[in-house]
Amino acid sequence: MKILIVTLDNIGDTLISLAIHEALRRYPGYHTAFWTKEYSGGVIPLAGADIEHYHCDPFWDRSPGTGKGGFLAYARTILKIRRAGFDAALILHSNWRKNLSCLLAGIGKRYAQKGAFSTHYAAPSTGNHELDLCRALVSGLTGKDPGALSYPLTPAAYGETEASARLFSNGAWAVLHPFSGNPRRNLPMVAWPPIVDSLLARNMRVLVNAAPAEKALFEARFAGAAKPGDLVFSCDLGLDIRNLAYAVSRARIFIGNNSGPLHLASALGTPCVGIFQKSWVEKIAPRGKSIPELAVFENDPSEIGAAEIIAKAEMLLGPAKPRPGDNNNC
């Protein structure tokens, strides 16, 4: 039976959808494929190089830092999926547009939580997390409860370039993600310099995951205080998702906002600190190999200060080692 997992969303949601692929591998007779955005498509090879994968940005939605997708690319993808002959679609974050797209692709059985043009509705009964929806979709398809799901990543290789492998295989690294697709859930920029200083004090190098415009915003907060070489930016290295995964897998800690890279760190098992709004924790907090330490705010991330983030990072990192040349004799 050919199953299309439809996750036309951003990186975090796409990572969570890997739990469906992992669950269906336990059942004989199911062949799974994915339909993702171009933006988040790099996630799929992390779960296996041989996974069938269709990708295009929907014309009704935009990804962070990009415009909406084109209708012609969308139509071509529909035709490719139709020719592949899928028996059923499991649709995450369903709505009538996604459901109708699967109907146009000739998929007879369309499992979704809501929206017109679905044939089967799946309502989570075990909780409100997105993984509970994945569990309900698998149960609806197979008639069997797969149990609690997770989305660990254990690929044999992360697709690193020679340069990034050489860089991140040496020394102790921290990875920071000070941005997200929604600025209203980001830790204020004023909090990041003390966090960076606390990591540099441990002789750690810091990779900041940022686009060029975000890099400029981040550097402006330091007013030249950071020494050359202390900070490395992903945009300067040209890291794609697979290269970022390698860097995160080598890091001693990840600190970031509610975003795809935080889910990536959790899935890879990297100790992580996440900034999260309380109302979102139950629904989408990461549940990978490493469960993040969360700094939670009620209404605005400015409720969280640098001291709270540093304290959680210190707990994960453990006692700091003496700096070379320090003299601790009384």
pLDDT digits (tens, 9 = 90+) for 98-157: 999 999 999 999 999 999 999 999 988 888 899 999 999 999 999 999 999 988 786 555
CA dist., res. 28 & res. 1, Å (int): 9
**What pLDDT does 61 receive?**
83
pTM: 0.89
| Average pLDDT score over the chain | 89
- The CA distance from 185 to 76, in Å, is 35
Q: Is the pLDDT of residue 225 over 80?
A: no
Where does the pLDDT of residue 329 fall: very low under 50, low under 70, confident under 90, or very high at 90 and above? very low
Q: Which of 234-243, 257-266, 272-281, 306-315 has the lowest mean pLDDT?
A: 234-243
Which of 128, 129, 89, 81 is closest to 105 using CA atoms?
81
Is pLDDT at 323 greater than 80 in this prediction?
Answer: no
- Residues 309 and 297 sit within 8 Å (Cβ to Cβ): no
Q: Can you say whether the dihedral through the CA atoms of 94, 27, 263, 66 is positive or negative?
A: negative
Structure tokens at 194: 């003390």
pLDDT tens digits for range 17-33: 999 999 999 999 999 99
Q: What is the pLDDT of residue 159?
A: 54
Q: Which of 237, 203, 208 is nearest to 221 (CA)?
A: 208
Helix axes 11-24, 260-268, angle to 10 degrees: 40
pLDDT-derived band of residue 298, with 50, 70 and 90 as boundaries? very high
Q: What sign does the dihedral 64-68-70-74 (CA atoms) show?
A: positive
Mean pLDDT, residues 271-295 taken together: 94
How far is residue 206's CA from residue 57's CA, in Å, rounded to a whole number? 32
Domains of the chain, CATH where assigned:
2-142 (3.40.50.2000), 162-317 (3.40.50.2000)
pLDDT tens-digit series, residues 59-95:
888 777 677 888 999 999 999 999 999 999 999 999 9
Tell me the DSSP string of 112-131.
ESSSTT-SEE---SS-SSHH
The average pLDDT across 276-283 equals 94
Show contacts of 20-25: CB within 8 Å, 24+ apart.
Answer: 20/90, 20/134, 20/137, 20/138, 20/149, 21/47, 21/51, 22/47, 22/149, 22/150, 22/151, 22/152, 23/134, 23/135, 23/138, 23/146, 23/149, 24/138, 24/141, 24/142
- What pLDDT shows up at residue 330? 36
Percent of the chain with pLDDT over 70: 92
| Whole-angstrom distance, CA of residue 145 vs CA of residue 154 | 24
Position 319, amino acid: P
Q: Is the pLDDT of residue 228 over 80?
A: no
Q: State phi, psi for 216 to the nearest 5 degrees.
A: -60, -40
The kind and range of the H/E element at 313 are helix 306-317
Q: What is the pLDDT of residue 328?
A: 46
Question: Which DSSP string do the residues of 159-214 spell out, in sequence order?
Answer: ---HHHHHHHTSS-EEEEE---S-GGGSPPGGGHHHHHHHHHTTT-EEEE---HHH
Q: Is the dihedral of CA 37, 119, 3, 20 positive or negative?
A: positive
Can you tell me the distance from the alpha carbon of 187 to that of 306, in angstroms, rounded to the nearest whole number? 9
Strand order across the beta sheet in which 2-7 lies:
52-55, 31-36, 2-7, 88-91, 109-112, 120-121
